[in-house]
Amino acid sequence: MARELRIFRTSPFEPMAQELLVPPKAIEPPDLTDLTGPNAYFFLAERAGRPLGCIALRNEGSFGLITGFHFKPEETHSSLPEILVEQIETQARSLRLPVLRVWVGDMHANVRAALVRCGFFPDGDADADAELKLFERPLNKRVQLPPSLTAKGR
């Protein structure tokens, strides 16, 4: 019998979250301070006591910054990444944030693909050779695409 997916707000220092956030062979744990504090919202997805993914939102005042977006490789083509992003969107809307932004490294193609499926687009002004790329998504109902993604002359 399949168990339900459970998504809940917790600390990134919780043992199940650590399984997703800390590489198995890490000598030093990564700095997780950007996932904590009064302006941070960290969510964990689990099924049957097994962590499947996590995501965090930082309220930066004029925008929401997504950090700590991780999921198990076997969840790449499932609906889990979209469900996690939807959780963050709901939180950002409750904070009345107009846009979500996220920096994604070249090594995280599965995260990039999930963001694109969720309607995020790369910042057209970003350096094409940069190792990290900025993706964003407006949260207002009328999405206005940046000039780099619209047809010229229209």
3-state secondary structure 44-97: EEEECCEEEEEEEEEECCCCEEEEEEEECHHHCCCCHHHHHHHHHHHHHHHCCC
- pLDDT for res 53: 96
Model confidence at 75: pLDDT above 80: yes
Model confidence at 1: pLDDT above 50: no
Q: What is the largest CA-CA distance in the chain?
A: 56
Task: State how far the alpha carbon of 126 is from the alpha carbons of 56, 58, 143, in Å.
Answer: 23, 21, 20
Model confidence at 12: pLDDT above 50: yes
pTM of the model: 0.83
- Mean pLDDT value across residues 84-103: 96
Q: Model confidence over 36-59: pLDDT tens digits?
A: 889 999 999 999 999 999 999 999
Average pLDDT, the chain: 86
